[in-house]
Amino acid sequence: MKSPLALFILFLIASCIPKKKEKTIQNAQNDFQKILAAYPTIDSTAQHQVLTFGTFHFDRSRDGSDVVAKEHIDISKDANQKELGAIVDLLSTFRPDKIAVEWKPTHQKTMDSLYTQYLNGNYSLEKHETFQIGFRLAKRLGHTKVYCIDNNPPFPEYINAIDDWETYADSLGHLGLWSTYDIENKRFNTFMDTIQRHLSVNAYLKMINSKKHSKRQKQLWTTGLVNVGYEGPYLGADVVARWYRRNIRLFANAKNLVTTNENLLIIYGGAHKWILDELFEATPDFQVVQFNQLQEN
């Protein structure tokens, strides 16, 4: 049987343990707060605003998309031209200092020549969104040019060698994964095709620039196709990587157009909008603005 003194000592030891533990926890929390305070974040006030205006391709002859709508909006109709004028009015409230468009920099001289002709009244605007929106807006704002930023890296030869993705996926035992992408892709594009018959140009473009549309566009790259060939040889993932590669290149072209306190408007196919928005949101000196946030007069 322990003596009263021994019991007292044991009591003191036991009572000290929780306090020691509490102190250790508190020290850890203090250390964590110190680490956060010293963390090397980039804390800078945004010098630029950027708005990526997603569009459908107005000119079907220049539409490089995998799926081209059967029911395509004819942008040349008087009613649609009037709506485009209202869209240009709305975009002008953003007051961009520079406008970037979906053409490669190798076409810059041609673009400069066409824009100069347009300013001089010697060029009738073609259907492409660069001309219908970009040229009109640039002229309205007194810009001297629009900027070509596109880049379209080729697919690797080992991907080009695949004639039938469904057959290839089946050969890997990944047909189910491919079908998930294929079914959803067809459902999405059928919907986009169908609603063109029922929406105005303004409503259709607002839909393309909505958060829901951006999320859906992203999901097409993260379901199905990316899984084909997982664990090797990753051909599906490489197709997705090539899409990222293209967009990161044009992002680099775009962000380096602006100098101090200049705002940037990017007019691009709607499929690019989500990834450009994400890249600019991660860029400390840019604030992302959405078209659907602009207020109509």
**Tens of pLDDT, residues 219-259:** 999 988 999 999 999 999 999 999 999 999 999 999 999 99
pLDDT band at 67 (very low <50, low <70, confident <90, very high): very low
Secondary element (H or E) of residue 201: helix 201-208
Check residue 64 and give its pLDDT: 46
The per-residue pLDDT for range 155-208, each reduced to its tens digit, is 999 999 999 999 999 999 999 988 887 888 889 888 988 888 788 999 999 999
Residues 128 and 102: their CA atoms lie apart, in Å, by 10
Radius of gyration of the chain (CA): 28
Check residue 39 and give its pLDDT: 81
Q: What percent of the chain has pLDDT over 90?
A: 69
In this model, does residue 55 exceed pLDDT 90? yes
Check residue 65 and give its pLDDT: 47
Check residue 6 and give its pLDDT: 58
Place of tokens 């890296």: 153
The per-residue pLDDT for range 93-127, each reduced to its tens digit, is 999 999 999 999 999 999 999 999 999 999 999 99
Residues 241 and 252: their CA atoms lie apart, in Å, by 16
User: DSSP letter at 163?
Assistant: S
The CA-atom distances, in angstroms, between 175 and each of 40, 94, 163, 202, 240 are 46, 46, 15, 39, 18
The structure tokens listed for 182 are: 């294929």
- Comparing CA positions, the residue from 9, 131, 113, 134 lying closest to residue 62 is 131
Q: Would you give the end-to-end CA distance of the chain in angstroms? A: 91
